[in-house]
Every structure is written in structure tokens, then in C-alpha cells.
Amino acid sequence: MDWLINFILTWGSGFAVGWWAASKASQAAMKNILENAGVSEKQLKQAAINMGMDMEEVREHFGNEDGETVISIRVEKHGKQLLAYQMETDQFLTQATTAKRLIDQLAEMSGERSITYNIDPNDGLKYIQKELDKRAERS
């Protein structure tokens, strides 16, 4: 019975490591092929859009053209507190009692990096929409 457990564990570990190595090798090979063919990242983005990917998906995969990072967030309201979470990881980002302060804290978190926060209307946009509209009018 021990040999069967050892066999399964060894086979499973080897499969997982092999799968990971094959994935990394194919990514490196594809990157090399595209570079040698002269395909730019801009052309890849356009191809993704042509194949039916929406702009939000393209930005999540490639980032923005100017090197911005796009982070999808969710805002929840618990009592008087507004809480912001990163969608992909469900990681807590920050909290505040006003939309203005929440937006300011998200901006402070990005520091010198260029980060765009993306929020879907179904993920709490209603809690900060008025403040975003005010800021858009000012700029």
C-alpha cells in the first residue's frame, strides 16, 4: 500500500512541476517568436480586440499604453464605513467614512506608480459616483 501512495505522490508532483515548466517554456518560446516576427505589443492588443476581447480585459492583460497598471476594485458599505477590495484577490485595500477620503486613500496608495482603478457599477460604484463626478467636473 505504501508503494501506491508513494507512486501517486511522486507522479502528481512530477505532473505539477512538468506542467509549470512546460507553461513557462511555451510562454518564453511564444514571446521569442513574436519578437522575431516583429509583432509589437500594440499589435497584440489590437488582435485581442479584433478577436472579441473587450477593452477592460485587454487592459487587465496588457496594462495601458503608458504603462499604467489597472486594478479592478469592489467597494462595500458597512454602516458608515466604505471598504475597498481588489477584485482578483479579494485583498482589502483601504477604508474610509466618506467617498472623498476613500478615493484620496486609493490615490495615496499608488504613490509614484501610475495606477488606474476600475470599478464596475455592480461592485459598489454607487457609493463613490457623486465624488467621482465632482472631480471630473473640476478637471
CATH number of the domain where residue 119 is located: 3.30.2390
Note the pLDDT of residue 83: 92
Q: In this structure, are 28 and 78 located in the same domain?
A: no
Residue 65 above 70 pLDDT?
no
How many domains, in total, are found in the chain? Answer: 2
Q: In this structure, are 54 and 71 located in the same domain?
A: no
Note the pLDDT of residue 135: 80
Q: In this structure, are 130 and 75 located in the same domain?
A: yes
Note the pLDDT of residue 69: 72
Domain boundary pick from 59, 78, 106: 59
**Of the candidates 18, 16, 12, which has an alpha carbon nearest to the alpha carbon of residue 4?**
12
For residue 35, what are the domain limits?
2-59
134 or 58, higher pLDDT:
134
**Of the candidates 116, 109, 110, which has an alpha carbon nearest to the alpha carbon of residue 67?**
116
Q: In this structure, are 81 and 132 located in the same domain?
A: yes
Q: What is the pTM of this model?
A: 0.51
Tens digit of each residue's pLDDT (9 = 90 or more) over 78-122 = 999 999 998 888 889 899 999 899 988 888 887 766 777 888 888
